[in-house]
Each structure stands twice: as structure tokens, then as C-alpha cells.
Structure 1
Amino acid sequence: MFIFIVICIFYSVLMLMLLYGWKKIPEFSSENLPAEIRFSIIIPFRNEAGNLPILLHSLAGINYPESKYEIILVNDESEDNSAEIIEEFQHNLENFNLKVLENNRISNSPKKDAIATAINAANLEYIITTDADCRVPVNWLKSYNNFILKTENKLVAGPVALNSLPATNTNNKRKNILRNFEELDILSLQASTAGAFGIEQAFMCNGANLCYQKNAFIEVSGFSGNDKIASGDDVFLLQKFQQKKYKIGFLKSWEAIVYTKAQQSFGDLVSQRIRWASKAPAYKSLFSKFTGITVLLMNLSLVIAAFLVFFQLLPYQPILIIFLIKFNLDFILIYSAAKFFQRETVLRSYFWSSIFYPFFSTYVAVKSLFSDFYWKGRQFKN
């Protein structure tokens, strides 16, 4: 029982630190500053025919001087008609500043290769990345321009939220449940990401909404040293910028939120989370290791405790108290993020999600250590 209490104490301290960090970052409001920063928007894609129309329409609606940005899409060996969709879109919008490159594969990480391929061809000073299943906001570049001019950050992480709202059709009830669970998880990750930035211990960011100076990327040797790991085009770059003592920040702005597509099945969600978790052992900072181990132990201890209580090997009262402590701390953190993203309604699913999450998290963590994973039709080894 003592070990459960110790883990709970460490977890409580961690959550309070992240909550403090989230509160410490003020919401950023864009001002009418001149459009000085020039952006190369980079988007790798593979078999994204179903998502590209939404992405392209959002890119075409960006409110920023056309001379101040370029769009580079990188085709990562797509097997569908993604390229044709882009070509048709370009034909309909002749002044759309967009070019398509073929991925130059040199490592075990197709996405890192795709981004590096685009950066080599990029003409402008700042790189901003997103994913092909995303939708960018109208004032996306304007928000980054204003934030960078005010802070002089060389790397800026931006907020990410789920794109589509839950379906109301009763036939889609199962998808609604899955989506709500995924959204609560993403809200937790967003609050944790920003919270860590707020206490100057950043260890996470999301490549679906990430901006950094091109020269700084070159100075840290890009993705070299981490190219054997399939994912981590965002996190490992963040670590390199920190090692160089470059200024970094989190853009906590409603106008900068990039919306990403929800996973279509539980298997897809598990595969995505395994891919994300597989890079955790390569984290370098002490705080990131402390966070990963503490969260894993907290969830694992609750799973073990649940079985011990079920077989009457432990009294349920102290375990229930530990669960309630976690339940309330997690709720406060997630509520803070839900309020910022204006998604308080998803908290209706918090109770059942909080019961299921320790089992889900433990399963993903164990699988990420011992199992390969599939992504975009490819198999990757850990």
C-alpha cells in the first residue's frame, strides 16, 4: 500500500505543476502588426485523398499576404489519387502558391525525410508544419507572425484540437464514444504540453501545428541522430532547440488552433498512441522522464490495485481515495483545456473515460515497448 501512496503523491505534484504552467501562459491576442515573418508551410502526405480537399480549402483561405508564404506538399509514395486531387485544385486556383515534391527517403522515418526534403527546397525564413488530415484556421500565419515578432522565439508550438463534431445519428453511437474518449485524451495532452512550456520544462509538441526558424533547424542538424525512430519529428527537434538554449514558446491562441481528424476506429487510435509512445524512451530531459514514468506508474498501479481489490487482497477504501485524487486532478487540468478550446460539453464523458483510461494507457505503454506498429500501411519496428 505504501508504494501506491508514494506514486499518488508524485503524480499529484506533477499534475499541480502542469496546471500551474497552463495557468501561467496567458492567452495570446493578435494585434495589427505588420506581416514581416515569411513562412514555408510544409505538409507531408501519403494516401490522403479523403482528407486533402478540406486541407487545401483551408490553406486557400489563409488571411496573410501571398508574397509572405509558400506551401510545399511532399508526396510520401501515395498509392491513391492524392496527387491528382492536388493537381486539380491547383488548376482551379491558378494563383495558389503551392508546389508538390516527391519524398527523398534516406532514413527509417518517412515523415522526417519528407519534412527535410521540403526544407531543402524551402525559400523562406520560418518553417511551419501541419498534417494532411488537418484544417488550418484563417488567421493561422497572422497569429504566428504576431507572436514571433513579440517574443522572438525560434520555435513555437501551437494548439491542436479534433476536427469533426460527434455524430448525432444513433447508428454512430460507438464512434461518438470513441471520439469523446480521444478528445479528452487530446485535451489532456494539450494542457500537459502547454503546462510544461509554462514552467519552462517543455517536453512535448505536435507536428500538426509547429513553427520554427529554418536557420535554427539547420544549425541543430535537423533530424539527424533521431532518424532511426519512425516518429518524433516534433519532440526531438524541440529537444535540440532546448539544448542550444534557443527561445521557445507555446502559442495559446484561439486563432491558431489547427483541427485534426479523429481516428476512425479503436484499432487506429491504439496504433497512433503506440507510435507516439514509442519515442518516449529516447526523451532526454529529466522532467520528461519523470513525467513519463510517473504517469505510467500511476495508471499501472491503479490497474494492479483494481485486480488486487477484486480478489480481496487489498481493501478498496484507500484505492478508491487514490483514484478520486487522480480523478479530480485530471479533471481540473482537462477542464482548463476544454474551456480554452470551448469544448466543455465533452466532459460529460469524463467519468467513464477516467475509469477506462488507466487500462488503455497501460496497454499502450506496454505495447510500445515490445511491439511493432503499423502506420499509413507500413510496419515500423521499435
Structure 2
Amino acid sequence: MMILIFVGITLAYLFLIGSLAFGFDKVKPFPLEEVEAKTTFSVIIPFRNEAENLPELLKSIAALHYPKHLFEVILVDDASEDNSVSVIKTDKFTTTNIKIINNKRESNSPKKDAITSAIQLAKHDWIVTTDADCVLPKFWLDTFDAFIQKNAANFIVAPVTYSNVHSFLDRFQLLDFLSLQGATIGGFGMQKPFLCNGANLAYKKSFFKAAHGFQGNNNIASGDDIFLLEKALKQDAKQVHYLKSKHAIVTTEAEKTTTDLISQRVRWASKSANYKNNFAKVVGLIVLLMNASLICGLTLSIVGVFNFNMLVYLFLIKCSIDFLLLFKTVRFYQQESYLASFIFSCLLYPFFSVYVVFISIFSNYKWKGRAFSK
């Protein structure tokens, strides 16, 4: 009976990840074509204590190819305690279309408040969000514009990855993050979108207002991206798209310590209990059961209750289907060299993921020097 349960979980996982891998290929790459720029954008970037990262962000903003008169950048200071504001004001790349505002706190979510504060002042039709620790590609807004001109869209999800990957901790985070990016793209290909990342997101200001912004979930500290995606899907799923383009890839950096990594992942996991998307809940449950079953199987095999060879077979099946989706993803991001850390990451990942879920259920978390409740 025990073996049947473990095999059943593995088959469900195999079908799920296989479907996402199939869906990945269904989302066709978007080629950047030279078209006359038409779309106007308000780029919103909340920041808190980001003095170290802001110079690179500002440099990438200055290097954007898009016509300056068609976009503005609103940097929202979320009560920074370092010299972030002075860095922006004195940076040589700061231009007239960049302005700084203060966050107007009204809820339990500082980032949602920051985005809402900026949208109230935004001049343009399209809102684009990213993070202060990101670097933007040169043709970022050009790609969004070309895509918008060719597609009826209210909400656009775009790719994110890590840069400056050196240590094993960096590589582990990258492969974990790219698995989420692969699942994101695969979900769109299956016509069941369930993930997105606020570091690279665009939506119409009219959609945000019609959806009443973050109303209904602003008691949850995180989730400025996922909960908006759910609202967009409910309003009109046909106008929700994934922009699969190398020219739109925003890069950020991995967490520097294991403690920071766990804190980040706990923050991500803490919002999952509030998802309204049933497919997202099913995906989360199957992934959790698969990883938990491997840990349980290892424990039982050590005490002689479960066949170790069977455990190895189940683990290899999981690794094989994971590799299929991950390989497609790293090839799109042109980061194939980091697959060298795949096997060791596979061995660690079940323990890491189950631990994160456990912590997210039974404890609160800290982020950016603040403590948050679930």
C-alpha cells in the first residue's frame, strides 16, 4: 500500500511537470521587430535601503533605448534608513523623467502601498513594475511596446533571472528560480497561468483601477504580483499574456546568505494559502507531496521499512522530468552552463523545499528589516 501511494504521487508529479514542459514549447518566442514606438509607460520601482543596488539600476534605466518622452520612472521610497535617496539624487544617470516619491502606508503590505501610491500619480496608460535590485535590458520597453501593438493585452508577464552567479549557493538559487520561471511559462502554454514575478510585470492602469488594485489582499504583506494576476485572469483571461523574449529579460542577484534565501522563500510561500487559483493550489500540493515523499521514503528505508531501490527509482524519475523542464528553461535564458550543479541541487532540494513550507506555516518572517505576520 505504501509503495502504491509513493508511486501514485510520482506519477502525478510526472504528469504535472511533463505537461508544464509541453506547455513551455507552446509559448512561442516573441521576436523584436522595429516598429514605431507608441505605448506610454509609467515604470514603478519601490525601494527600501537599496543604496548598494540603485546605481546599477539607474545606469540600466539611462541606457534604455525607448524614447524618453514616452515613459516616466517613479521611484517610491519605502522609509529607507540608508542613503538611497541621496544616491538617486546625485547619481549621474538620474534624468528628468525620473522622480522620487514617498510611500503612503495604508495597509499591511509596504510594497503594495508603494505601487498604489505611484499609480495614483502615474501619467501614462501602462504600468510596468520592477525592483530596485534589478538591471533592465536595453530594449525592455521596446519589446513591451511591440508586443502590445500586436496583442490585445491588459496584463503581461515577462521573464526574470539571476546574474553574477558564482558560488554553489548562487547556482542552487538560480536553478530553483529557473524552475519557477519554467513553470510560469509552461502554465501559460497550458492556458492555466498561475505564476508571475513583480520584478517584470506590465498592466494597464485602467485594469488596476477596475480591479480595485490590491483590495482584498492588502492584508498579506507579499503577493503584489500573484494576486493581481488572479484578478486579471478573472476579468479577462484572453488578455493575459506571457512575453517570451530574450530582449525583455530582467536580471537580479541571488541572496547572499542561506538565512536570506530561506527568509525570501518563506515570504514567497507564506502567500500561497491565500491563492484563489485552484490550479496553483494543485501544483503546490503535488510538488510538496513529491518532495515530502522522498524524505519520508529515505527515512523509512533507513529503518528498513521501505525498499531503498524503489526510492532511487522514484528519485531518478523526478530528476529526469525536472531536468526536461529546466533544460528548456536554461536554454531560453542562455544559462546552460549552470546545469552542472543540477544533480547536487536535486539531492538538496526536497529537504530545502519541505523545510521552507514547514517554516512558512508555523512562523512569521522578516524582510527588509521588518517583521511580518502571515
In the TM superposition, residue 85 of structure 1 has moved relative to its aligned partner by: 0.3
Q: In the alignment, is the contact (CA less than 8 A) between 1:135 and 1:163 conserved in 2?
A: no
What secondary structure, in the 3-state scheme, does the structure 2 residue paired with 1:356 have? helix
Secondary structure in structure 1 of the residue aligned to 2:101: strand
Please state how far the C-alpha of 1:24 moved relative to its aligned partner.
0.5
Output aligned runs, 1:22-171, within 5 Å: 22-89=24-91, 92-93=92-93, 95-166=95-166
What SS class does the counterpart of residue 208 from structure 1 fall into?
coil
Retained in 2: the 8 A contact 1:134–1:163?
Answer: no
Could you report, residue by residue, the CA deviation over 1:127-165 in whole angstroms, capped at 9, with x for unpaired residues? Answer: 000000000000000000011111121111110010213
The gaps in structure 2 that reach 5 residues or longer are: none
Tell me whether 1:285 sits opposite 2:277 in the alignment. yes
- Equivalent position SS for 2:186: helix
* RMSD (Å), alpha carbons: 0.9
Rounded to whole Å, the distance in 1 between the matches of 2:277 and 2:334 is 32
The answer to whether the 8 A contact 2:58-2:93 is kept is no
Query: In 2 relative to 1, CA 11–84 (structure 1 residues): closer, same or farther, beyond 3 Å?
Result: same
Following superposition, which runs of at least 4 residues in structure 1 exceed 4 angstroms of deviation? none
Q: Which residue of the other structure, out of 322, 337, 342, is the alignment partner of 2:334? A: 342
What do residues 237-273 of structure 1 show as CA deviations (whole Å, max 9, x unaligned)? 0000111114111111000000011100011010000
The answer to whether structure 1 residue 298 and structure 2 residue 290 are counterparts is yes
| Partner Cα separation in structure 1 for residue 367 and residue 93 of structure 2 | 32
Partner of 1:171: none
Could you say if the C-alpha distance between residues 88 and 195 of structure 1 is closer, same or farther in structure 2, counting changes exceeding 3 Å?
Answer: same
1:170 corresponds to which residue? none
Give 2:196's aligned residue: 205
SS of the aligned residue for 1:215 comes to helix
The amino acid across from 1:186 in the alignment is F
Q: For residues 2 and 228 of structure 1, what CA distance do their matches in structure 2 show?
A: 41
Deviates further, 264-273 or 92-101: 92-101
Q: Sequence identity, in percent?
A: 45
Answer yes or no: is the 8 Å Cα contact 2:45–2:132 preserved in 1. yes
Structure 1 counterpart SS, 2:120: helix
Q: 1:98, 1:83 → 2: CA distance?
A: 12
1:256 to 232, 248, 251: 248
CA contact (8 A) 1:61 1:138 kept: yes
What is the match of residue 169 of structure 1? none
AA partner of residue 63 (structure 1) = H
- The aligned counterpart of 1:329 is 321
> How many Å separate the matches in 1 of 2:65 and 2:152?
22
Task: Confirm or deny that 1:221 pairs with 2:230.
Answer: no
How much does 1:93 deviate? 5.0
Q: AA paired with 1:21?
A: G
Work out the CA distance in 2 between the residues paired with 1:271 and 1:132.
18
CA distance in 2, matches of 1:153, 1:84: 37
Alignment partner, residue 190 of structure 1:
181
Q: Which amino acid aligns with 2:63?
A: G
CA deviation digits over 1:343-369, x for unaligned, max 9? 111000000100100000000011111
Report the residue type matching 2:209 in the other structure. I
TM-score by length of 1: 0.96
Note the C-alpha offset of 1:94: 6.9
CA distance in 2: counterparts of 1:370 and 1:222, whole angstroms: 29
Give yes or no for the alignment of 1:355 onto 2:347: yes
| d(CA) in 2 for partners of 1:130, 1:242 | 21
